[in-house]
Structure 1
């Protein structure tokens, strides 16, 4: 059984009201075949999903190439030990990370600028189409699946919206990229294809999120905040639709607007 770590802790110093819940962040080592690939500051929950999704979005291993995952205590932190099936281990060195990643960094530690800024795999044209109402409904639904954020006001969320199904999975973490990796792992474990829906996030859209979303195979990425200029360029080249600054009342389209039936809302290229 994996060790039990609380995702939130109570804190009352200097408060006259009830103790406040604070989000936990823990040093989480992601080890593959006995070698540590990354040490990330992450919320100590859904760690098997985290490892499975990290392997997928970093191009280390497909879900079917993972033999086993175990979570063990490692001093003050946790070690998520992943064992791969033959053939996947050769990809480890290309994405080797050589330093701990702070909670806000999805690319920290990569020892090659080219690797950090690599273009994501192109998404196939066509496929998923969403109505503008789907985009608005997806961003409106996400807060209802964020219990840790409700308790702490300190974490991000990544969800997966499927037309006709609604929000089928959500994961939370102190790091936006960690939340997306956890979501990717949850989708892979459930056998949900990335192309069947849209990723929905609470955060700004940076290049690492575009890279990861493309590897998941999700053709639409919806976010409450804005994208960076580099993220827009990367998404344009990957064929990924970016819907940002999304609210229940509207959103802006930055790339590949053809996947969204905008019902008279002007496309934003």
Structure 2
């Protein structure tokens, strides 16, 4: 067992509960948060405040989503030091120092970060795909997302993300204190597994703000679904980028804010079960 495992995703802490019955001491579960600094070819890229699980997937997903690497093949060895919380990565080419100086701090939990050229490149060419999903599949995915995270049930302070291939139930779910980190973990896992991201739906428990949308577009993911609502910027950009943007998905209906043509509505006579 390494120190990452010893720390774990949850920490028990003492607190005081106030209720109609009075005041009492309690033991509570709170989600772990650590600062992980990503260093690529001896150049510091970013420090992410995150949950210390699935860190190799987080690093891969973040470097790809941020535009530091163009494919998983550009990332070689990556060693995470759980004492200093440093992820030392070997890249096939040095990161662009000028790019690293153009950071955009986003509305992500804690302080999200992306790089300016990601937003510029993502807006240039709308995403095209033949992928469609049914409204029943979206409801099923939303219901699965709601109960997917035991860690959320323990702490009530965790975000969850996953990739659904062509509307099927995900085989892996990823948790983090930051919704953007959870998305990077899901994307990183997809890259590592060689998943066809162009045939995927990105599921997220958190608000879809512009940085989440840019991560999806960067990965070529055509459908983004959340239990929460998008920001107005993400709606406008989704329409320009060709990304189907779904919000308020809780298993009993949802709202499509952009590119509804990819969502096939259920019909009363449709009796065949979705995958």
TM-score, L = length of structure 1: 0.86
Counterpart CA distance in 2 for 1:103 and 1:79 is 20
Offset of 1:89 from its aligned partner?
Answer: 2.0
Residue 90 of structure 2: aligned partner: 83
Long gaps (5+) in structure 1? none
**Is contact 1:158–1:201 with CA below 8 Å preserved after alignment?**
yes
Counterpart CA distance in 1 for 2:202 and 2:73 is 22
Counterpart CA distance in 2 for 1:219 and 1:105 is 26
TM-score, L = length of structure 2: 0.84
Residue 35 of structure 1: aligned partner: 43
Query: Which of 77, 94, 110 is the aligned partner of 1:104?
Result: 110
**Is contact 2:167–2:201 with CA below 8 Å preserved after alignment?**
no
**Is contact 2:131–2:166 with CA below 8 Å preserved after alignment?**
no
Counterpart CA distance in 2 for 1:239 and 1:233 is 10
Residue 157 of structure 2: aligned partner: 154
Offset of 1:175 from its aligned partner?
Answer: 0.6
Structure 2 residue matching 1:118: 3-state secondary structure: helix
Counterpart CA distance in 2 for 1:134 and 1:207 is 25
Residue 133 of structure 1: aligned partner: 136
Which whole-Å deviations, capped at 9, do the CAs of 1:75-117 have from their partners, x for residues lacking one? 4xx11111111xx325453144679998433237x6xxx5475
Residue 52 of structure 1: aligned partner: 60
Offset of 1:237 from its aligned partner?
Answer: 1.3
Residue 72 of structure 1: aligned partner: 81
- Structure 1 residues 10 and 97: CA distance shift in structure 2, 3 A: farther
RMSD (Å), alpha carbons: 2.5
Counterpart CA distance in 2 for 1:115 and 1:126 is 23
Long gaps (5+) in structure 2? 18-23, 269-275
